[in-house]
Structure 1
Amino acid sequence: MASNRNDSVKKLNEADRPNRSGNTRGADMNQRYDARCAAFNSLLRCECGAKYSNLEIDSAIGRYKLEDAEKRLYTTLVYGVIESKLTLEYIIARLARRPVESLEPEVKTLLCLGLYQLSRLDRIPEHAAVNETVELAKRFCPRASGFVNALLRAYIRADRNSLLPDPNDRMKYLSVKYSVAEELICIFDSLLASNDETERLLAALNVLPRPTLRVNTLKLSRDELLRRLSDSGIEAYKSELSEFAVKLADSTISDKIRELISSGYVYIQDEASILALEAARPMPGEYVLDVCSCPGGKSFTAAIMMNNQGRVRSFDIHKSKLSLVDSGAKRLGITIIDTTERDARVYDESLVHIADLVICDVPCSGLGVIAKKPELRYKSAADIARLYDIQYDILENCSNYVKPGGRLSYSTCTINRGENSDVVNSFLAKHTEFTPKYEKQLLPHIDGTDGFYICVLSRADA
């Protein structure tokens, strides 16, 4: 299968390579790149390990020059197929009566694309989903077009419940039904009170949350923002968790919302992330370090809460990403943020006891944002365990930078105890000078936010 995947990537690279006139061969020669065709190519790239879905989508929308309606369908198909991967592959194996690993990547991708439309997109007629997928098969793998047609039509005739595992095999059933790795379900079981609650969490992680806008109160109030949205026909309402946040009723980011973002009136930030900063309480005139800052949301929120007075130093190990913080601060009218490339695990004597507040929003498994990042559904426990030492080392090192009487904020966008309270408790066992002042685990099925952990520690006065 490795050679098949490499061949598939090579074909895609050939198809999308610019010709002598500078045009993309696949897009500008004899091929028509509508939403389904573009989605097929992007899914194959992701399947073969060439790109993560968010990066592929960003580049593909421009590469294939899709119209607005096509962009929406394309994005729905790419994210939808990836987030439903285990479900779709299980159904394919049942109907084909052969392991999905035995199929060529192109054939498997086409079948997933067709099955996703049939099973999840009610607005697309069954005949259209089948016919369009078969046409793609004729174009990209003609010898398999009959097989693709037969399997999709077999799915239409089948009893859908019979295509899932036996519910008595609980772990397999939940993994296939919600398309989440069994190892992650074991983690969820260990955190939650009952099997029923685990399933409620899995269901919540399958629903893309509506966007939250954080109001830039340096430029306008929340009430003024709501008036502007209402005048533009955009339905929105006040967040119940933050007085500085607005929830959109629709998941679509309209041109008006984009205009508000580009003008610096708002930025997209989940309520949980906003709450983490509100718990840390950055104040005007304070010295704040945001040690894992990119793409900048927490630095922005801190600076706005400080009324653009004081200093926010935004660090990140990836220099290339710091431009996002710089450009975002400029757009928002924030002047107190400066950025520096820095590894948060490496001790810097010049920073010792300098900060009123140190923000450690550490790299994590992202299990609380699975709905937004579909690849995270398939992480292994071993992948996650490799993060524990990194998270502890960041907290341990950066605690040195908190001045006596200052605060240390630790947060993640995961619900895994091993990355959250276990890290904090290990730290506190060695650092009696720090005391917990606030701790909260947010859960999507209970709080309606990203899954998120927040802990604010206070350092004793000298």
Structure 2
Amino acid sequence: MDNRSAPASRAPSAHLGKAARLRPTARNLALKALLLLDTGLTVQQALARVLAAPQPGRPKDAGPQELTPAERNLCSELAYGCLRHEIRIAFVLEQVLSRPHSLPRPMFLVLSLAVYGLLFQEKVPDHACVHQAVESVRSLYGTALSRVANACLRTVQRRRDDFSTYCFYKEKFNSASADSLFFSLPEWIVELWNTAYGADAARLLLQRSLQRPWSALRINATRGEARALHAHFLARGESVGPWGVAFAPGGLPSQILHRDLRQWEESGDVSFQAAGSQTILDQLGLRLWQGPVWDACAGFGGKTAALLEWGQNVRLATDASLSRLRALPGQCRRLGLPAPAIALADARRPPLCRWEGNILLDVPCSGLGVLARRPDLRRRSHGAVAELARLQAAMLTRAARLLQPGFCLAYITCTLNPAENEKNIEAALRADTGLRLERQWQTDHAHPWLEGMYGAVLRRV
């Protein structure tokens, strides 16, 4: 029951070739994005690809940019929503089809997108969901399977109240299985949260994992208009960190002070950064650090840029991914900030034998705190997460060895899993008596929308 999505029965390229026959509508582009996930792309990468590439049936110099903003948003909503509810949707198809997993992968996903529309998109008429899905199946596989699709979706329509009610699942399964199906999370995550945080907190986390994520901006504190700009944005959103503003789904303003938001971004006055990422830096007190900073898992450089804007002396940024790290110098230029030295390096094997300064260690993690934003992470296996915990421990051990007396190491994750959070810190403190825990912070489980973050600050004494 951990992952009910139909397995790909043929090579992903064959499925993509099949889907290329369809007109480039928002729904069909969402189908292509879901098929691209089978090739190993993340949902963000898949959507970026299908919304950027020229599509069959359009002039060669005109791609999906011809889609209206509403169509592009619909494409993203369909892909994200279908992934967010993937386990429940697959279960629903099992109830109305005798062998749904034997269907061709593109057809299974066409039906999944339609079921998502029927169960979760109140503003989309039922007849539109059914008709578009049936026509897509007819175009791909002919009349016989289109009749199967029509009968399947009509049955989902009739039984929608059952499939939308938690009691339906609770009456059929034990609590963990019912939660897994209704909230579309693998049972191992349901059991992990219940064991680690208790039933009440686990239920809050399950509910939060299904919410549409909030958007957030960070105002560049080094700019002359920063305070005025922050005040104008704050009138429409919620404050996060010292210079951040978060917006409810659909609430991100497209224009402020007579300029488009993209213009503010291009000029370096604002940056997109998740609310949780800004909050954790503030809660751990990194604005008050004294001395040079090394960002040992810099990624695209969002936290490096935030610290630089707040006046921190970030001297070095390293990461194991060149594709991520190469974006940092350009980001610093856009923001008008001094770029730190950058180096391609695994945090377990950094190009240093000593570091006289503070260390930021934002480790790779399972992402269980950002499932609303990254629904494809629901597909992670328990074994893969255990391996991540071992990787994090190795990174933390190495960084701690380089930490000099009087300086601090901040350990950060965006997950809700004690094995990746508190237990790694406890192990580091047991192994190295020269470390002291200065502070520890985790997102309140009852917070309705903030990403689930964890952080701890260790000082070398």
So what's the TM-score if we normalise by structure 1? Answer: 0.88
CA distance in 1, matches of 2:130, 2:7: 29
Say which SS state the counterpart of residue 217 (structure 1) adopts. Answer: coil
Q: Is 1:132 aligned with 2:123?
A: no
CA distance in 1, matches of 2:319, 2:188: 30
CA distance in 1, matches of 2:113, 2:430: 51
Q: Which residue of 1 aligns with 2:207?
A: 203
Say which SS state the counterpart of residue 32 (structure 1) adopts. Answer: coil
Q: Which residue of 1 aligns with 2:95?
A: 94
Amino acid in structure 2 at the alignment position of 1:342: A
Structure 2 CA distance for partners of 1:162 and 1:362, relative to 1, 3 Å: closer
Q: Which residue of 1 aligns with 2:261?
A: 257
Q: Which residue of 2 aligns with 1:315?
A: 318
Higher mean Cα deviation, 388-397 or 241-250? Answer: 241-250
Q: Give CA deviations for 1:297-316 in whole Å, capped at 9, x if unaligned.
A: 11011111226xx3431100
Q: Is 1:41 aligned with 2:45?
A: no
CA distance in 2, matches of 1:305, 1:113: 44
Instruction: Give the drift of 1:457.
Output: 1.0
Q: Which residue of 1 aligns with 2:305?
A: 300
Q: Give CA deviations for 1:171-207 in whole Å, capped at 9, x if unaligned.
A: 11111111000011111111213x2331221011111
Amino acid in structure 1 at the alignment position of 2:75: Y
- The 8 Å contact of residues 184 and 379 in structure 1, kept in 2 or not, is answered as no
Pairing of 1:399-414 with structure 2 (within 5 A): 399-414=400-415
Structure 2 CA distance for partners of 1:400 and 1:306, relative to 1, 3 Å: farther
- The 8 Å contact of residues 304 and 314 in structure 2, kept in 1 or not, is answered as no
Instruction: Give the drift of 1:52.
Output: 2.4
Structure 2 CA distance for partners of 1:411 and 1:11, relative to 1, 3 Å: closer
Identity percentage over the alignment? 25
Amino acid in structure 2 at the alignment position of 1:263: S
Amino acid in structure 1 at the alignment position of 2:246: K
CA distance in 2, matches of 1:264, 1:439: 32
Instruction: Give the drift of 1:246.
Output: 1.2
CA distance in 2, matches of 1:226, 1:432: 43
CA distance in 2, matches of 1:85, 1:2: 13
Instruction: Give the drift of 1:15.
Output: 6.7
Pairing of 1:65-104 with structure 2 (within 5 A): 65=64, 66-96=67-97, 98-104=98-104
Higher mean Cα deviation, 83-92 or 298-307? Answer: 298-307
So what's the TM-score if we normalise by structure 2? Answer: 0.88
- The 8 Å contact of residues 205 and 370 in structure 1, kept in 2 or not, is answered as yes
CA distance in 2, matches of 1:314, 1:323: 11
Structure 2 CA distance for partners of 1:2 and 1:210, relative to 1, 3 Å: closer
Q: Which residue of 2 aligns with 1:149?
A: 150
Q: Give CA deviations for 1:213-232 in whole Å, capped at 9, x if unaligned.
A: 111101146541145548xx
Higher mean Cα deviation, 441-450 or 135-144? Answer: 441-450
CA distance in 2, matches of 1:284, 1:399: 17
Query: Gapped runs of 5+ residues in structure 1?
Result: 17-25
Structure 2 CA distance for partners of 1:272 and 1:40, relative to 1, 3 Å: closer
Q: Which residue of 1 aligns with 2:421?
A: 420
Q: Is 1:212 aligned with 2:216?
A: yes
Q: Is 1:61 aligned with 2:83?
A: no
Say which SS state the counterpart of residue 354 (structure 1) adopts. Answer: coil
Q: Which residue of 2 aligns with 1:113?
A: 113
Higher mean Cα deviation, 252-261 or 333-342? Answer: 252-261
Say which SS state the counterpart of residue 417 (structure 1) adopts. Answer: coil
Instruction: Give the drift of 1:40.
Output: 1.9
CA distance in 2, matches of 1:363, 1:284: 23
Q: Give CA deviations for 1:247-283 in whole Å, capped at 9, x if unaligned.
A: 2244465363222222211112233322332324245
CA distance in 2, matches of 1:162, 1:302: 47
Q: Which residue of 1 aligns with 2:60?
A: none
- The 8 Å contact of residues 348 and 394 in structure 2, kept in 1 or not, is answered as yes
- The 8 Å contact of residues 326 and 338 in structure 1, kept in 2 or not, is answered as no
Which of 314, 324, 328 aligns to 1:325? It is 328
Say which SS state the counterpart of residue 387 (structure 1) adopts. Answer: helix
Query: Gapped runs of 5+ residues in structure 2?
Result: 1-5, 56-63
Structure 2 CA distance for partners of 1:449 and 1:3, relative to 1, 3 Å: closer
- The 8 Å contact of residues 220 and 265 in structure 1, kept in 2 or not, is answered as no
Instruction: Give the drift of 1:71.
Output: 0.3
Q: Which residue of 2 aligns with 1:19?
A: none
CA distance in 1, matches of 2:323, 2:459: 33
Q: Is 1:244 aligned with 2:228?
A: no
- The 8 Å contact of residues 236 and 251 in structure 2, kept in 1 or not, is answered as no
Which of 258, 265, 278 aligns to 1:274? It is 278
Amino acid in structure 2 at the alignment position of 1:117: G
CA distance in 1, matches of 2:197, 2:7: 38
Amino acid in structure 1 at the alignment position of 2:42: Y
Say which SS state the counterpart of residue 268 (structure 2) adopts. Answer: coil
CA distance in 1, matches of 2:297, 2:158: 51
Instruction: Give the drift of 1:9.
Output: 2.5
Which of 354, 363, 380 aligns to 2:356? It is 354
Which aligned segments of 4 or more residues in structure 1 are displaced greater than 6 angstroms?
Answer: none
Instruction: Give the drift of 1:447.
Output: 6.5
Instruction: Give the drift of 1:285.
Output: 7.1
Q: Which residue of 2 aligns with 1:4?
A: 9
Instruction: Give the drift of 1:68.
Output: 1.4
Structure 2 CA distance for partners of 1:68 and 1:285, relative to 1, 3 Å: same
CA distance in 2, matches of 1:290, 1:162: 46
Q: Is 1:383 aligned with 2:388?
A: no
Instruction: Give the drift of 1:388.
Output: 1.7
Let me know the Cα RMSD of the aligned residues: 2.3
Q: Give CA deviations for 1:386-433 in whole Å, capped at 9, x if unaligned.
A: 012210111111123322100110010001000001001100001111
Higher mean Cα deviation, 60-69 or 272-281? Answer: 272-281
